[in-house]
Amino acid sequence: MKIIIVNVAVASGVQVIWTFGYMFSLYIYNKTTTYNLFLFIIFFTILIMYKIVRILSYWLVTGCIITPILSFVWLQIDNSPFRDIPFGGIGEGLTPIFLPIFFVCFQASILMAIKIQNLLPHDKQKEKQALKITVIQDIKILCFQVLLSMVLAGVLILNNLFVSYLIITLSLYILFIIRKKISGNGIFWIISWIIIFDQTMTMIFQYFPEEARRYLEVTQRKFEIWYLIIFIVYHILLTNFFKLKAERGKSQNY
């Protein structure tokens, strides 16, 4: 019973993320931001399917219940994306109907691909095991980078030096712990950080009034550059630190 509750809760949480992600994308006019948002959601879903929920019925039931309800309630509160467009009323009415169908079909295809991959012969499975571990590891890194970027972007908007220093210190400590648990490739850590943090800041700036945006671009963009530099240098130091630690451990074993 406990396993069923956990699977339903996890699948429901993912369906909420899918629904909010789609509804939020209706307000985004930057295609790059939309692509990055859905790539993150897809990678996160793959990780959940690999690790926790592998039964299709959980995705079918939660998708057919949660997605239409959330999308319907959202559109009752704000249907501005469908205003002033041809057949906007029809699109608004059909969204709660066809959105769960699309989501469930897409999620079923992901789950089917995972199941087919697991049915491969044992020897081929062994060959792909290293790749599977690397992919899961990279997905975890991307998810962490997105969360960290959103937190730091929020700190930049607050424009409070004490809070900024506090959050940066905590972020560096948490990053050390995460790097210790998820080794990953140092170059991948740095590149993903630069892209994700920059895109997060670009996305957030779009939703500010024009006057506030001008002020933030003048004052806060320079802090964004410092954030990038600080974490890039920190990633380089951590990469060298863990590399030396691993080499020292090997030499002691011999």
Cα–Cα distance between 18 and 38 in angstroms, integer?
8
Which class for 62: exposed (0-12), middle (13-18), buried (19 or more C-beta within 10 A)? buried
Please write the tens of the pLDDT for every residue from 39-83.
Answer: 778 878 888 887 788 788 889 999 999 999 998 888 888 877 777
Cα–Cα distance between 34 and 27 in angstroms, integer?
10
* pLDDT score of 201: 74
Please write the tens of the pLDDT for every residue from 6-49.
Answer: 889 999 999 999 998 888 888 776 666 677 678 778 878 888 88
pLDDT exceeds 80 at position 123: no
Q: Which of 63, 12, 19, 59 is nearest to 37 (CA)?
A: 19
The long-range contacts involving 43-47, CB below 8 angstroms and separated by at least 24 positions, are: 43/139, 43/142, 43/143, 44/14, 44/17, 44/139, 44/143, 45/14, 45/18, 45/107, 45/110, 46/110, 46/114, 46/139, 47/136, 47/139, 47/140, 47/143
Q: Over range 210-219, report the average pLDDT.
A: 59
* pLDDT score of 3: 85
Domain residue limits, the chain: 1-119, 122-254
- Please check whether residue 134 is in contact with residue 181, taking contact to mean a CB–CB distance below 8 angstroms: no
Q: Which of 146, 163, 172 is nearest to 227 (CA)?
A: 172
